[in-house]
Structure 1
Amino acid sequence: MADQVPFSEQPWLSGHPSPYYTESHRAWQRHCRDFITGNLTKYAMQWENEGAVPEGTYQHFAAAGMLLPNLPAPLPVEYLKKIGMTKIGPLKVEDFDSFHASIYVSEIIRSGLNGPASALCTGLAYGLPPLFKFASRELQERVVPDLLLGKKRICIAISEVEAGSDVANIQTTAKKSSCGKFYVVNGVKKWITNGIWSDYASMCVRTGGAGPGGLSVLLVPLKGQEGVSMRRIPVSGQKCAGTTFIELDDVQVPVANLIGQEGQGMKQIMTNFNHERLTIAVKVTTQARVALSEAFKYCMKREAFGAPLINQPVVRHRLAKAGALLETQWSWVEALVYENGNLSKEAADAKLGGLTALAKAQAGIVLNECSQCAQLLFGGNGYTQTGQGELIEKITREVAGARIPGGSEDVMLDLSVRQMYKNYQRVNKANL
């Protein structure tokens, strides 16, 4: 442990006691570290520069079961055993809990780059859960096995040009055909991560009138589907995450592809928000850790004015301020992971929705502070796209990708207080 760069590992991996982690978690962490380092982390910079993760990497992760930890805990044990998956590395699928999930998310972004991790994880993490929770048995059995085995890919398609965090304003329509066998879908979806590679999208569409009550979720075929056109969108960071613009022109979708019931789309989307936002909080806080530890390492070796930078009080002050934010955020995230894993789904949605939104927003704020700290301490190297500061320069360009997707920061801050106030009113009315 003595050779660890300060801030480079979570406290429980640095020899500190923790009430959360068992030997099962430690064995799982070692497995994730070995597998992900060998198959992703050491190539991440190259792939981000090239703008794509090789397709074979997705298949390799899928064959090893190392895409499954993107799903919410507990895992869909029944389906996994049907397709012959009983273990992931050292872990029985039925033993997978919220901390196993958190460990996986942290390990997959240890490169500090969100693009390669998102290329593998985002579609399955957010596109598949609605099928498990709301789809008919027939629809599940038709598509889920291929998705779990990596033979097909899926994404979540919610955002539009005029509807990002404002989900209730979605304009893409799905109207039943005259024969009643299809929904005819028209509209556009924008900023859809992994869309360009996906065979399906769990897509929020408008089947009814205005407002949230008119929304539904459809499983929309994408690749090779008549009326669907897709193109990649250039973005500031996460170059290889496959950010996609999707146009839908009279796309015929079988009515059997309706996920759940018409008019329940808003409710269905909201039930996965805790999973999505907590995953983002874990990932982004880990990314902040990478940035700050890289800055600490650089300051120990970089000499200026006749001594290492770390000898200068102003440098230590900047590291300390960012480090305090980082470790405070991580402790809070761990607590939310624990609470989420020890409450029922219904209780977690009610009690943790506002707090999880707040943690997601705060994670972006912490990443901004840690990446700015690192870039300033790296100086010109941190502003250069090659060389010693290449990673830091890339991380700073990914800050907006942490603060906007999954619910933009200002919306999350407001939502957190509104939900906590609503809970307060509900509890106090019940006690009257």
Structure 2
Amino acid sequence: MASPALKKPTIPFSEPPYLAGLPSPYYNASHHAWQKHCRSFISKQFADCLVWEDAGEVPDDLYKNFAEGNMLIPALPAPLPVKQLKEAGIHELPGGLKVEDFDAFHNVVYGDEMTRIGLGGPSASITTGVAFGIPPLYKFGSPYLQRTYLPGLFRGTTRVCIAITEPGAGSDVANIATTATRSPCGKFYIVTGQKKWITNGIWADYATMAVRTGPADSGAAGLSLLWVPLKENDRPGGGVTRRRIKISGGGTSGTTFIDLDEVRVPVENLIGEEGMGMKYIMTNFNHERLTISLGATRTARVVLAAAVEYVLKRTAFGKPLIEQAVVRHRLAKCGALLETQWAWVEQIAYQNSKLDRKVADIELGGLTAMCKANSGIVLNECAQCAVLLFGGNGLTRTGQGEVVEKIYREVNNVRVPGGSEDVLLDLGVRQLVKIFQAKTAMLEMSRNSKI
């Protein structure tokens, strides 16, 4: 009897366990079929990504290719906005996956495959505006805004960015200074201020923008969300000026500085209610931070697997580097961090899929913040390990260490955006303590009511 054909073994740490032949409670046949489609489509689209990173630009038709392949929708948080998608005529994703069947782990598969190239810029150029700019519109936007803009956004004929951060307000969202005041005629908001580090901003037709509609000292209570036309006002007299910002990594993500000088925005473009902006923004945080965690964890996987592959073939002092105990020790420490981080991402994704959305936003907020912070710590450890093991090749922008060198420059693009590392670590503990204290108080009230 012939032996069964052996599958090609995977390099240690190069794939998540469910793709390395190990059992998992999370993934079913639908997820595996979706993973095969994602890998085939995304690998083809990102085949020349290293060249793009050197040039600092993605091809003009890249976004169009994803739109035509109906591969923008998976960047949205699960569950998808089924009603609005069907109203726009979108009933299925590639491979016959119905939009109502798309779950948290289809989202995990998509995010993981989008960053399998090891670089965040190309993925961010496609997904950031979709993932974080569209949800406030279908969650809180008026029927007019949804009817007018969602079909084009879903199909990729209209592009959006999320515009929160400013020169003086990063992780401290409540410190936003961009103002939106009502015009004397009452028909417009007049928007003045600056937005900085806005991913996809250079290409966006519109921005889901945080603005201050309340007094300067009103803090979070004075924030609102506006649907701000950028492209039509990016002209002399229109009030919008945009320029690209060069950053240390992820240079293809379209990071932008936006200057707004008395931009007229119709009052109908208010998303939800005035003064509710901070609440709306916070509903984005968990998805944003888990998305960053997911991409960072795959990037750590790419760089650590590259190190393993290198030390298996590189010889020094008369034997392969893998035979050096100190090398194995470095790899083991990073591997343990990596697989633990991946398990945490999967765990939070599972918990999100089982909890009511409002409950998940509260219960998982602190944990997701810490998971995002930890993903940057893990990526930093894995990238440093790879650079050290590659030696001079890990410092060289071309050749066999090219990916390692590029990834090392990406590390701080994880540790800062979405809430900087120290802020999120502190926030995570404060949130957990706050929940504990609230539940304790409720328990005490319940006990006292029975006395």
Instruction: Check whether TM > 0.5.
Output: yes
Do residues 268 (structure 1) and 276 (structure 2) align?
A: no
| TM superposition shift of 1:121 | 0.8
Q: Within 5 A, what are the aligned runs for 1:165-314?
A: 165-209=171-215, 210=217, 211-225=219-233, 226-314=238-326
How many residue pairs were aligned?
431
| TM superposition shift of 1:247 | 0.1
- 1:83 maps to which residue? 88
Residue type of the alignment partner of 2:304: L
Deviations 1:126-160 (A, max 9, x none): 11110011110101111111111111100000000
CA distance in 2, matches of 1:87, 1:34: 18
| TM superposition shift of 1:3 | 2.6
| TM superposition shift of 1:408 | 0.3
| TM superposition shift of 1:82 | 2.6
| TM superposition shift of 1:280 | 0.8
| TM superposition shift of 1:75 | 1.1
| TM superposition shift of 1:4 | 1.1
| TM superposition shift of 1:8 | 0.3
| TM superposition shift of 1:2 | 4.2
- 1:338 maps to which residue? 350
| TM superposition shift of 1:79 | 2.3
- 1:147 maps to which residue? 153
Structure 1: runs of 5 or more not aligned: none
2:63 pairs with 45, 58, 78, which one?
58
| TM superposition shift of 1:409 | 0.3
Do residues 129 (structure 1) and 141 (structure 2) align?
A: no
2:84–2:138 CA contact under 8 A, matched in 1: no
Deviations 1:56-79 (A, max 9, x none): 111111111101001011112222
- 2:79 maps to which residue? 74
Secondary structure at the aligned position of 2:106 is classed as helix
2:439 pairs with 419, 427, 431, which one?
427
| TM superposition shift of 1:341 | 0.9
| TM superposition shift of 1:30 | 0.7
Residue type of the alignment partner of 2:337: L
Structure 2: runs of 5 or more not aligned: 1-6, 445-451
Q: State which drifts further: 83-92 or 168-177.
A: 83-92
Q: Within 5 A, what are the aligned runs for 1:378-397?
A: 378-397=390-409
TM-score (normalised: structure 2): 0.95
Q: State which drifts further: 109-118 or 75-84.
A: 75-84
Deviations 1:27-59 (A, max 9, x none): 11111111111112x221121112111121111
Residue type of the alignment partner of 1:17: P
CA distance in 1, matches of 2:364, 2:152: 33
2:88–2:150 CA contact under 8 A, matched in 1: no
Larger radius of gyration: 2
Secondary structure at the aligned position of 1:196 is classed as coil
2:382 pairs with 349, 359, 370, which one?
370
2:21 pairs with 15, 33, 42, which one?
15
Supply the RMSD in Å over aligned alpha carbons. Answer: 0.8
CA distance in 1, matches of 2:228, 2:316: 58
CA distance in 1, matches of 2:275, 2:173: 13
2:108 pairs with 82, 102, 105, which one?
102
Do residues 47 (structure 1) and 59 (structure 2) align?
A: no
Do residues 320 (structure 1) and 332 (structure 2) align?
A: yes
CA distance in 1, matches of 2:22, 2:390: 29
Secondary structure at the aligned position of 1:357 is classed as helix
